[in-house]
Amino acid sequence: MVKKKYYITTAIDYVNAEPHIGHAYQKIIADALARWHKLKGEEVFFLTGTDEHGKKVQKAAEKAGKTPKEFVDEVSVKFKEAWKSLDIQPNRFIRTSDADHQKIVKEFIKKCDKNGDIYKGKYEGWYCVGCEAYYTERDAPGFVCPIHKKPLEKLEEESYFFKLSKYQDFLLKLYKEHPEFVLPNSRRNEVINRVKEGLNDFSITRTSFDWGIPFPLEKGHVIYVWFDALINYYSATRKKGNEKFWPANVHLLGKDNTWFHTVYWPAMLKSAGIELPKTTFNHGFISFNGQKISKSLGNAISPKTLVEKYGADSVRYFCIRNFPFGSGDDGDFDEKVLIERHNNELANKLGNLVSRVRGLVEKNGLEKCENKLLKKLKVDKISKLIDNFELDKALNEIFAFIDICNEYVQSKKPWETKDKKVLYELVDSIKAIAILLFPFIPETSGKIAKQFDFELLLKNIDKPIKVKDIKKGEILFRKIELKDI
């Protein structure tokens, strides 16, 4: 039987600065979704990486006294290390400086040119180096970048253009016939309204700097960083064995990337004659004290620092549980709330349940029986919520069942009755809990699976737990004091 394929990507991060928790949020969600589909027995390809070209990166390298290549080599490693510390496990970490990516980008441009969609002209406009993007006065009142709050630069240079204006009708038809292409719905409505106003062709080369992929149609031009970067999702699937994963099931993106991915990207793919991805999910920002987290704003929080203080699973859990990803709304990072959730939910509810039951089983053993308790676990509802990107609500449902299990321990008092059947129901239910929590807190689920001897697969929820000796295990979560902030 051929396995179902699932291909998920994140935005690739600029390497002009080091990774922060704002970058990490998206990657944690992507890793959780990738693990969920693996639990379902699907063949998964999870892509993340770094965006390494452009004027912004060249300036950052100059400031650091390094060549652009030296600079990106050093910073890309820091992103890899940050994701590793959070137990994020992509199948490939792509870099836009990778030779195979650069080759595909040049081929892609030639396909668009063959379709009559590339022409030479002159561009004049207001540009933000931080965004690597041009703005109109409508989008940037007073010619101040809405993201970086800095004045825009007036630029004029010879450039090649992509005929985006040609694809207005195609895009509007796409949004109508495939509403799932732009999620959540609020983002799609924004995009449709803007596209209806008309589309301008966009510049795809630069001559004012040289840190980029050489443009294949004329020397002296380098490819515009956004045109180059978008193609990474496709170029990663051109390696032998990966072709089967295209088109992507979902691109996860911050809402500031929505326009590029829902307008530029599908038009580019249509021009090149390549099948479109199924969904772009455009989530909100994590803010810090009400501001978008950004190195340039001086409020970045290092993922590695948080992991060193609280552990990978606690950081992952907080980011998924505390922010409404599926709605596309923003969330505010609060270290106090992270500690409260760690103590009240992970330590008191989950950790205490596992510890108490394991201790009682070590003393009294198990007796196999029908697990009526497990019938209260809403697996189908949890599955639908995850597939609908409502991961915070899925965790709510799992922890509602953990509450039911804790109440069951209190009402049945197995420390008094020595009831081996009650303990069997609880252990079998803990197995189901650990399996469902694996996408979110994989290290903890792995520890529980080892103690109670089961494999982390969704199909094993309905497979009765083995009646055997239970291994002693460590405390899953130790309490954290608020003074540790």
Mean pLDDT: which of 50-59, 320-329, 421-430 is highest?
A: 421-430
CATH of the domain at 393: 1.10.730.10
Between 286 and 456, the higher pLDDT residue:
456
With H, G, I as helix, E, B as strand and everything else as coil, classify residue 471: coil
Residues facing 128 on adjacent strands: 133
**Is there a domain that residue 358 lies in?**
yes
Q: How many domains does the chain have?
A: 1
Please compute the mean of the pLDDT values over residues 373-395 and round it to a whole number: 97
**Is there a domain that residue 409 lies in?**
yes
- Return d(Cα 182, Cα 265) in angstroms, integer: 12
**96 touches 51 (CB < 8 A):** yes
How far, in Å, are 159, 165, 193, 195, 221 from residue 168 at the CA level? 22, 6, 12, 7, 27
**Is there a domain that residue 60 lies in?**
no
**102 touches 319 (CB < 8 A):** no
- Return d(Cα 477, Cα 352) in angstroms, integer: 9
- Does residue 1 have a pLDDT over 70? no
**Is there a domain that residue 434 lies in?**
yes
How far, in Å, are 125, 337, 408 from residue 153 at the CA level? 8, 40, 65
Between 485 and 88, the higher pLDDT residue:
88
pLDDT at residue number 262: 98
pLDDT at residue number 148: 79
- Record the pTM: 0.93
pLDDT at residue number 50: 97
Rounded (10°) angle between helices 68-85 and 21-39: 60
- Return d(Cα 393, Cα 381) in angstroms, integer: 10
- Does residue 471 have a pLDDT over 70? yes
Count of CB atoms situated within 10 Å of the CB of 217: 14
- Does residue 294 have a pLDDT over 90? no
Any idea which residues carry the catalytic annotation? 20, 23, 128, 131, 145, 148, 292, 295
With H, G, I as helix, E, B as strand and everything else as coil, classify residue 93: strand
Please compute the mean of the pLDDT values over residues 25-53 and round it to a whole number: 97
- Return d(Cα 202, Cα 250) in angstroms, integer: 25
> 348: Cβ–Cβ under 8 A, 6 or more apart, which residues?
none
With H, G, I as helix, E, B as strand and everything else as coil, classify residue 252: strand
For all residues of the chain together, what is the average pLDDT? 93
**Is there a domain that residue 233 lies in?**
no
**Is there a domain that residue 235 lies in?**
no
- Does residue 152 have a pLDDT over 80? yes
Torsion angle defined by CA atoms of residues 11, 16, 19 and 25, in that order, rounded to the nearest 10 degrees:
-30
Bridging pattern class, strands 5-10 and 43-51: parallel
- Return d(Cα 291, Cα 161) in angstroms, integer: 35
Res. 292 pLDDT band, cuts 50 70 90: low
Q: Which domain holds residue 449?
A: 334-472
- Does residue 356 have a pLDDT over 80? yes
Residue-wise burial string across 193-209, b where 16 or more C-beta atoms lie within 10 A, e elsewhere: eebeeebebbbbbbeee
Closest among 323, 73, 53 to 215, alpha carbons compared: 53
**Is there a domain that residue 30 lies in?**
no
pLDDT > 90: what percent of the chain?
76
**Is there a domain that residue 376 lies in?**
yes
**250 touches 281 (CB < 8 A):** yes
